[in-house]
Amino acid sequence: ELSELDSKLAQYVDSHQEEYVEALRDWVAVESDSSNVLKRSELNRMMEMVAQKLRQMGGTVELVDVGEQELPDGSTLALPKVATAQFGSDPNKRTVCVYGHVDVQPAKLEDGWATEPYNLTDINGNLYGRGASDNKAPVLAWIHAVAAYQALSMELPVNVKFLIEGMEETGSNGLDAMILAQRDTFFSDVDYIIISDCGWLSRRPALTYGTRGNCYFYAEVEGPKQDLHSGVYGGAVIEPMIDLIGILDTLISPSGKILIPGIREAVAPLSDEEWKMYQDIQFDMDNYRNKVGVSQLMYNNKVDLLAHLWRYPTVSIHGIEGAFSDPGTKTVIPAKVTAKFSIRQVPNMDPAAVKKQVTDYLHSVFAKRKSPNKLKVTMVIGAKPWLADTQHALYEAGKAAVKRVFQMDPDLIREGGTIPVARTFQDVTGKSIIMMPIGGFDDGLHSQNEKISRYNYIEGTKLFIAYLNEVSQITIQV
């Protein structure tokens, strides 16, 4: 049952679809690739465009300087500024802060794109372009949601703040320090933080309530003082590569069981309610398997698979540096090799403890080999997981908004990946956070032919409008 207010706003959104698509076209045309320092001027231009759009709407806008980054060659480069904006400052209203980013993953036509990645292309209602779903359309949808209230001269039901950054894809450099610095200023009156930087799991709308963290390791084995010829020296020396592969093989079993002592014991147990939640989620195993392109997955039922994607840790081995990896044959014994592997973190695991468990375990396994080579283990990333309470008023409001716009209940899902800013917001500001995705399950984030469907973009804008309304009705817990 849509109120008159809702139908006016919904009609406004429908009649401005083309304008919204054009806005996305303008944004996607900017190659705001944060990993490529040669594109930094494009990224700065992108941040200017964001600030300009927010200014045109009459917001109080700032481009905040967050310092510089050091490049591998020792030189420094200014980080893109972070855009903040405020609409409304009524002390009698709730205040929400919307977080998003406008930097993108690299993309080139020759990577296997069917269309030019930076030229938004509409094919059968799908809007193809790098950054379309991650995260330009969701950021625009939030901006358009606020603008719709303004265009109809309707008062915003809540005060809305924006925090839009340009370094998310490379680790949000400078953002943690900025959030800390503005804890008692920009964030002081914020009640809730909304992140829309993820996607649905199926065709059913979703609310996201958890993400895994990530501990990333280097394991380096060093032996002879230089690379050796395997014909001349093979059989005389104990090879670092063989040591390294031997110890990597002890991290995880063929059936996916993590073998490092202490890790499985730290994982929060799966409750009956949680099992029931997973059971109710819409998820097509066959579709998922085909999309990945494998004949068999690690688990053959939905609950086990989702649980191992969302709430159990993983060990993944990403590669070995220093090994011979070019085409052709080369009879080399590498003198020093470094493995890169990571462990996704879940609730009740602590990165500091994981660092010790992994380091101690690999050293003990290595010692049993009685090798003269040297092992060095370092942890280079230690990002914690994030988990919200799905019974919280923010989520109740989210369920109500989804029901109003899509006439169905959302799936409550978790993300297997890591969105470190969520945990930073929680730890620094102490505010409650909700993740409210509008991206589709098949949007191809970080992949070739990334897209957002026109349906998700437009209906997502209506969802954000409805959500602002629902949040305004949360009663303040005294």
Residue-wise pLDDT tens digits, 37-73: 999 999 999 999 999 999 999 999 999 999 999 998 9
Average pLDDT over residues 6-35: 96
Average pLDDT over residues 333-338: 98
What pLDDT digit, counting tens, does each position of 215-238 carry?
999 999 999 999 999 999 999 999
The pLDDT value given to residue 475: 82
What pLDDT digit, counting tens, does each position of 95-150 carry?
999 999 999 999 999 999 999 999 999 999 999 999 999 999 999 999 999 999 99
What pLDDT digit, counting tens, does each position of 153-164 carry?
999 999 999 999
pTM value? Answer: 0.93
How far from each other are the two terminal CA atoms of the chain, in whole angstroms? 31
Largest CA distance in the chain: 84
- Binned at pLDDT 50, 70 and 90, residue 248 comes out as very high
The pLDDT value given to residue 291: 86
In this structure, the strands spanning 206-211 and 411-415 are: parallel
The pLDDT value given to residue 478: 46
How far apart CA 336 and CA 376 sit, in angstroms, is 11
Q: What is the 3-state secondary structure (H, E, C) of the chain?
A: CCCHHHHHHHHHHHHCHHHHHHHHHHHHCCCCECCCHHHHHHHHHHHHHHHHHHHHCCCEEEEECCCEEECCCCCEEECCCEEEEEECCCCCCCEEEEEEECCECCCCHHHCCCCCCCCCEEECCEEECCCHHHHHHHHHHHHHHHHHHHHCCCCCCCEEEEEEECCHHHCCCCHHHHHHHCCCCCCCCCCEEEECCCECCCCCCEEEEEECEEEEEEEEEECCCCCEEHHHHECCECCHHHHHHHHHCCCECCCCCECCCCHHHHCCCCCHHHHHHHHHCCCCHHHHHHHHCCCCCCCCCHHHHHHHHHCCCEEEEEEEECCCCCCCCCCEECCEEEEEEEEEECCCCCHHHHHHHHHHHHHHHHHHCCCCCEEEEEEEEEECCEECCCCCHHHHHHHHHHHHHHCCCCEEEEECCCCHHHHHHHHHHCCEEEECCCECCCCCCCCCCCEEEHHHHHHHHHHHHHHHHHHCCCCCCC
What pLDDT digit, counting tens, does each position of 163-217 carry?
999 999 998 999 999 999 999 999 999 999 999 998 999 999 999 999 999 999 9
Q: Tokens 């309304």 sit at which residue?
A: 469
How far apart CA 470 and CA 478 sit, in angstroms, is 19
CA dist 267 → 347, 349, 417 (Å): 6, 6, 17
> Which residues are CB-neighbours of 237 under 8 A, at least 6 positions away?
223, 224, 228, 333
Domains 4-211+385-473 and 213-267+312-383 share a fold: no
The pLDDT value given to residue 109: 97
In a 10 Å sphere around its CB, with 0-12 CB exposed, 13-18 middle and 19+ buried, how is residue 34 labelled?
buried
The pLDDT value given to residue 352: 97
Q: Nearest CA to 46 among 68, 63, 62, 30? A: 30
What pLDDT digit, counting tens, does each position of 271-300 carry?
999 999 999 999 999 999 998 899 999 999
The pLDDT value given to residue 477: 58
Q: Nearest CA to 338 among 350, 351, 321? A: 321
Q: Looking at the annotation, which residues are catalytic?
A: 103, 168
Q: State percent of the chain over pLDDT 90.
A: 95
The pLDDT value given to residue 3: 72
**CATH 3.40.50.300 corresponds to the domain 213-267+312-383:** no
What pLDDT digit, counting tens, does each position of 400-453 carry?
999 999 999 999 999 999 898 999 999 999 999 999 999 999 998 889 999 999
The pLDDT value given to residue 235: 97
The pLDDT value given to residue 123: 98
- Binned at pLDDT 50, 70 and 90, residue 84 comes out as very high
4-211+385-473, which class in CATH? alpha beta
Domain ranges for the chain:
4-211+385-473, 213-267+312-383
The pLDDT value given to residue 1: 46
The pLDDT value given to residue 325: 94
